[in-house]
Structure 1
């Protein structure tokens, strides 16, 4: 069965399926696992930048995009993608072990968000302002938390961090920290700065009526024990492990439409960094 699929894919490649021409794909619809309400990535109104990227993928493959929306990010691969309810998922880490991953379609990093008029000296986690700030907005469970612990600021920010989600218990439930709220904390002056994933913050930084700046955090951070804490990550499309043919198609699209993909990301204001030299 898989051999037949690979033969069909090879024929499609030869026919120029990726050019958006009149040739129909084997399947007319590409089902995309997508968040129902995880902006700025995706929502049911298709307003997220990952929604736009999915539409570009669909156009390149000459397939109509159909979304299968999920509410909780913890289980959607197991309960949606693996069960065949959708074909792909946008925005997974490169080499995510749960799926086959395409070549990365962008690489970005964590940023410090601050008010432009504050003119803060923010170069890295060693910056003095981080030790003096009264409030630093961040999302628990991210590299920002690890570094907040490393510089001794996690405990004194604990209550503030809980305020940002209304003191919700984290036991057995998904607690969402809204990037828009964390950015607005900085814009309003309630927090001196935030440490956030650049793609999550960029839209709200750009839309803020109070001028804000994003400072890309270098990828050279270490914990107190000397272990590196990564801050730059590559993003890929996830495919079921039994569908290498679709993976090959998507890799071809990422290559051929790299300019259009970059344009969409830059329009969003996402800080982009180069892939490591050893990346394949």
Structure 2
């Protein structure tokens, strides 16, 4: 009888300790690495769609969200997440080797943007409209720039590309191309076509007073040497490599709240595509 009482007491203590640990975890804020001004993803005012998703995650974990902001995307993993200043980063490429990444919470792609009134036949990078356009807006260092080279239009657009930011030496500095400005190039009629990352452009396409058309670029593009140029990418959340517990919690949040996450993304106007290994549904 005495042994049974000790066992019951030990079990109760163990349960109480587990509850106390869980409550302590919930009382800690969820610190999210977020851009200070990288709309439409996030900003200090919390107006980005990644801000909305971070708040959804915090609510699901019953933890208040606190943002740790960064200004230069080249170093934010090293300078915020790796240093323990924040716990989770939104909007990271699936499988990023610097971190542990969750299952993807969405997959999207690069898109062509044009004016509805122009009725351009834009299906892929072989479309005649791309050979005929006088101005095509792309962001340097992205797959569309690679494909502009592949179709022989890169040199034609070099001077125009510099106009979009004002020429600066790229040496040791981050040069930002404002997606909103590139979409305005189309709505104003200054350029005929833009090839941009869908999630970055969707909000501005939706808000344009000039009706615009958005066309998802197929994920079957190749360079002149035959190497594939990806157009569709999966996006995950990230934690430090030594935090598998939070990773598991985030994966559960994504799984349990997939409909709510998709609703935020669709409300933003982001074109979504299925994961390549997703099972077919009948």
Give the alignment's TM-score, normalised by structure 1. 0.91
SS of aligned partner of 1:166: coil
Task: Tell me what 1:60 maps to.
Answer: 60
Q: For 1:76-106, what per-residue CA distance to the aligned partner results, in whole angstroms no more than 9, with x for missing partners?
A: 1011100000001000000001110000000
Q: For 1:187-236, what per-residue CA distance to the aligned partner results, in whole angstroms no more than 9, with x for missing partners?
A: 00000010000000000000000000100000000000111111000000
Task: Tell me what 1:172 maps to.
Answer: 172
Aligned pair 1:131/2:131, yes or no?
yes
Task: Tell me what 1:210 maps to.
Answer: 210
Unaligned segments of structure 1, at least 5 residues: 1-6, 18-22
Contact 1:93 1:233 in 2 (8 A): yes
Q: For 1:233-265, what per-residue CA distance to the aligned partner results, in whole angstroms no more than 9, with x for missing partners?
A: 000001000100000000000000000000000
Contact 1:24 1:62 in 2 (8 A): no
SS of aligned partner of 2:25: coil
SS of aligned partner of 2:110: strand
Shift in alpha-carbon separation, 1:104–1:238, aligned structure 2, 3 A = same
Shift in alpha-carbon separation, 1:211–1:25, aligned structure 2, 3 A = same
Task: Tell me what 1:97 maps to.
Answer: 97
Task: Tell me what 1:246 maps to.
Answer: 246
Task: Tell me what 1:263 maps to.
Answer: 263
Aligned pair 1:158/2:158, yes or no?
yes
Could you list the structure 1 runs, at least 4 aligned residues long, displaced by more than 2 angstroms after superposition.
23-28
Q: Output the CA distance in 2 between the equivalents of 1:46 and 1:172.
A: 29
Q: For 1:160-191, what per-residue CA distance to the aligned partner results, in whole angstroms no more than 9, with x for missing partners?
A: 10110011221110000000000000000000
Query: What count of residue pairs does the alignment treat as equivalent?
Result: 263
Task: Tell me what 2:275 maps to.
Answer: 275
Q: Output the CA distance in 2 between the equivalents of 1:164 and 1:208.
A: 19
Shift in alpha-carbon separation, 1:125–1:202, aligned structure 2, 3 A = same
Contact 2:26 2:61 in 1 (8 A): no
Aligned pair 1:237/2:237, yes or no?
yes
Deviation (angstroms), 1:27: 4.7
Provide the aligned C-alpha RMSD in A. Answer: 1.8
Unaligned segments of structure 2, at least 5 residues: 1-13
Which structure would you say has the larger Rg? 2
Contact 2:26 2:63 in 1 (8 A): no
Q: Output the CA distance in 1 between the equivalents of 2:182 and 2:69.
A: 25
Q: Output the CA distance in 1 between the equivalents of 2:27 and 2:171.
A: 41
Deviation (angstroms), 1:26: 4.5
Contact 2:26 2:62 in 1 (8 A): no
